[in-house]
């Protein structure tokens, strides 16, 4: 976001407000924490990614703060206006459409600006589609790589998918329902058909569905069934990083997997070098031995 002039830092004597970053339900209103409800009832202003959705939640709580819009496409003036409210003594709660703000949602720039103006930022923890999907996937989530929404097409999408294919850790994606099959097919192309994955759809809502299987299984299912609602996709990692670094045969297997997934010799050699610490020349010789 372009630079702009922030309000002056408040003096020690002047009261200053707080920005509360409030996690809201993915669907089921029962998931809203007591603390979040108390904050939303108490603050005079709520900045919302979607004021229509926020209004429904606030109505459910019988809360009547002033609503202002703040979303990913808000301009500098709107961001500065929210900061000015806080610097001038107003507490403001920020909510996204659903889940935890700042996770594939707007919010990071607002948090930086508020903190830069000398005000406090307080997180109100709660629902997250990433954590919910991981917890129900059966795929260990002690370490994972979150990639959010991928670019819809083009070289950046291809680059991210190829990098993701070799991750030793599980991967988590967000995807819109009408693009779910495209994502699954692209994952098959770079990872092969047998990688385990889970699609979590409509989490915590009436039609929640959590479907696990291989990537191939999921492509078949969702090709024949039109998905509805936002989707969170969890894909197991290779689990190979430590093994590859210590075992030349594991490096060869990694190269075989990359070639089998359609990577060129040069791409496979580059990826093997990056993931094992081999020199590019040694990795290329290894790849050429397999061709």
Please, which pLDDT band fits residue 16 given cuts at 50, 70 and 90?
A: very high
Identify the pLDDT of residue 177.
Answer: 96
Residue 107 is predicted with a pLDDT of 86
247 confidence band (pLDDT: 50, 70, 90): low
pLDDT tens digits for range 118-142: 999 999 999 999 999 999 999 998 8
Place of tokens 């209103």: 29
pLDDT at position 254 is: 84
pLDDT of residue 240: 57
Residues 175-212 as b or e (16 or more Cβ within 10 Å = b): beeeebbebbebbbbbbbeebbbbbbbbbbeeebebeb
Residue 19: CA count within 13 A, CB half-sphere? 28
- The pLDDT of 174-180, averaged and rounded, is 96
∠ CA 256-262-267, rounded to 5°: 75
For the cut 90, the answer to whether the pLDDT of residue 114 exceeds it is: yes
14 band by pLDDT with thresholds 50, 70 and 90: low
pLDDT at 167 over 90: no
- Residue 11 phi, psi dihedral angles, 5° rounding: -75, 165
pLDDT tens digits for range 37-61 = 999 999 999 999 999 999 999 999 9
Tell me how far the alpha carbon of residue 239 is from its chain's centroid: 21
Inform me whether the pLDDT recorded for 273 exceeds 70: yes
Residue 265 CA to residue 270 CA, distance in Å, equals: 9
CA–CA separation, 49 and 102 (whole Å): 11
For 196-232, the pLDDT digits (tens) are: 999 999 999 999 999 999 999 999 999 989 899 999 9
Give pLDDT, residue 106.
80
Orientation angle between helical segments 265-276 and 280-290, nearest 10 degrees: 130
In the block, tokens 């496979």 appear at 268
Phi/psi at 256 (nearest 5 deg)? -60, -45
Q: Please tell me the total number of residues recorded for the chain in this structure.
A: 291
Q: Round to whole Å and give the CA distance between 286 and 234.
A: 31
Residues 162-171, mean pLDDT to the nearest whole number = 88
DSSP lists the bridge partners of residue 99 as 24
Mean pLDDT over 57-76 rounds to 94
pLDDT at 5: 47
| Phi, psi (deg, nearest 5) at residue 261 | -85, 5
pLDDT at residue 69, as a whole number: 95
Question: CB–CB of 273/267 below 8 Å?
Answer: no
Question: CA torsion angle for 125, 130, 132, 135 (degrees, to 10)?
Answer: -120
CATH number of 18-127: 3.40.1010.10
CATH class of 130-235: alpha beta
Residue ranges covered by each domain of the chain: 18-127, 130-235, 241-290
**pTM, rounded to two decimals:** 0.76
The proportion of the chain whose per-residue pLDDT surpasses 90, expressed as a percent, equals 64
User: Average pLDDT, whole number, for the chain?
Assistant: 89
Q: What is the pLDDT of residues 82-108, one digit of tens each?
A: 999 999 999 999 999 999 998 877 888
């Amino acid at each position: 976001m372009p630079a702009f002039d922030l309000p002056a830092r408040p003096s020690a004597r002047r009261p200053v407000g707080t920005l509360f970053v409030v996690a809201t339900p993915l669907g089921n209103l029962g998931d809203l924490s007591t603390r979040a409800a108390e904050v939303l009832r108490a603050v005079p202003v709520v900045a919302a990614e979607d004021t229509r959705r926020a209004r429904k939640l606030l109505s459910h709580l019988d809360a009547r703060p002033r609503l202002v819009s703040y979303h990913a496409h808000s301009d500098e003036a709107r961001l500065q206006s929210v900061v000015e409210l806080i610097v001038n003594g107003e507490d403001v709660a920020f909510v996204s459409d659903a889940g935890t703000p700042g996770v594939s949602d707007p919010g990071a720039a607002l948090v930086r600006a508020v903190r830069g103006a000398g005000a406090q930022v307080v997180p109100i923890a709660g629902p997250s589609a990433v954590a919910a999907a991981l917890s129900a996937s059966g795929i260990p989530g002690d370490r994972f790589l979150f990639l959010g929404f991928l670019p819809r097409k083009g070289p950046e999408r291809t680059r991210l998918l190829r990098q993701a294919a070799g991750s030793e850790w599980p991967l988590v994606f967000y995807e819109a329902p009408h693009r779910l099959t495209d994502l699954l097919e692209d994952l098959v192309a770079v990872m092969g058909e047998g990688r385990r994955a889970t699609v979590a759809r409509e989490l915590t809502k009436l039609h929640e569905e959590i479907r696990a299987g291989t990537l191939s299984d999921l492509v078949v299912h969702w090709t024949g069934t039109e998905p509805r609602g936002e989707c969170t996709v969890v894909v197991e990692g290779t689990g190979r990083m430590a093994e590859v670094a210590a075992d030349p045969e594991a490096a060869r297997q990694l190269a075989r997997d990359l070639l089998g997934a359609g990577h060129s010799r040069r791409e496979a050699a580059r990826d093997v070098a990056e993931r094992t610490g081999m020199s590019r020349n040694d990795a290329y010789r290894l790849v050429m031995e397999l061709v």
